[in-house]
């Protein structure tokens, strides 16, 4: 168990987001919509993908957001790839990194470059069902509830202090796909909310617990 501790965070002066994607970018769209509807006071400075054919890149371009495609296969190591991403994010003065279906485990050096300033959305109630295809894992395991989690990223897979969670019941008629679709609705709801909480400040990390101040 981690013994991480941090002083209470102040409201973030830098509200520029860097969003990392590998696929269609539906959570990117949820963040974009929240900003456009003034539910989230932030700006997406750049969207970075490790796949040049990721549909989310076109989604970002249509919204007028700058995009960068960095293929991880073009780099000799995970650390070299992560260093390139850190360079792109710092070049654009990003204050908070948001993983939105980014299918790469970040190195310790990347996490250290943005301490307590990287968020991830995962389709289960962590710490249950980490890793790929969490919705199918939950369905096959026969749990009665699943859901979605937004957490601060650490070098460990799907670890880190939990910022927001949403519960989704598993229905007797569910398939893995129908459960995943209902979880996705909750992902789109809680991710912008979690970003807002982080940017507004007034929270601290106590051990591995994310604690909001009254």
Q: Hey, which residues are catalytic here?
A: 122
Rounded CA separation 44/60 (Å): 9
Cis check: omega of the bond before 85, within 30 degrees of 0: no
178: CB partners within 8 A, 6+ apart: 171
Give the single-character DSSP code of 9.
B
Select from 67, 82, 74, 80 the least CA-distant residue to 25.
67
Exposure letters 39-52 (e unless 16+ CB within 10 A, then b): ebebebbbbbbbbe
What's the farthest any 2 CA atoms get from each other in the chain? 49
What phi, psi does 84 have (nearest 5°)?
-65, -40
């Amino acid at each position: 168990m981690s013994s991480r501790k941090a002083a209470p965070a102040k409201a973030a002066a830098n509200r520029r987001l860097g969003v990392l994607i590998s696929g269609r970018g539906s959570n990117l769209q949820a963040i974009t919509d929240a900003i456009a509807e003034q539910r989230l006071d932030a700006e997406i400075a750049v969207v970075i993908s490790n796949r040049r054919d990721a549909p989310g890149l076109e989604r970002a371009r249509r919204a007028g957001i700058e995009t960068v495609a960095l293929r991880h296969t073009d780099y000799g190591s995970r650390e070299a790839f992560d260093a390139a991403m850190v360079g792109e994010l710092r070049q654009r003065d990003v204050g908070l990194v948001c993983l939105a279906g980014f299918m790469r485990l970040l190195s310790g050096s990347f996490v250290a470059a943005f301490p307590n300033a990287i968020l991830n959305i995962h389709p289960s109630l962590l710490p249950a069902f980490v890793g790929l295809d969490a919705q199918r894992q939950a369905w096959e395991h026969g749990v009665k509830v699943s859901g979605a989690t937004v957490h601060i990223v650490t070098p460990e897979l799907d670890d880190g202090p939990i910022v927001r969670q949403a519960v989704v019941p598993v229905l007797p008629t569910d398939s893995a796909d129908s459960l995943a679709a209902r979880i996705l609705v909750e992902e789109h709801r809680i991710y912008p909310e979690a970003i807002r909480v982080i940017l507004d400040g007034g929270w601290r990390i106590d051990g591995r617990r994310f604690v909001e101040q009254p």
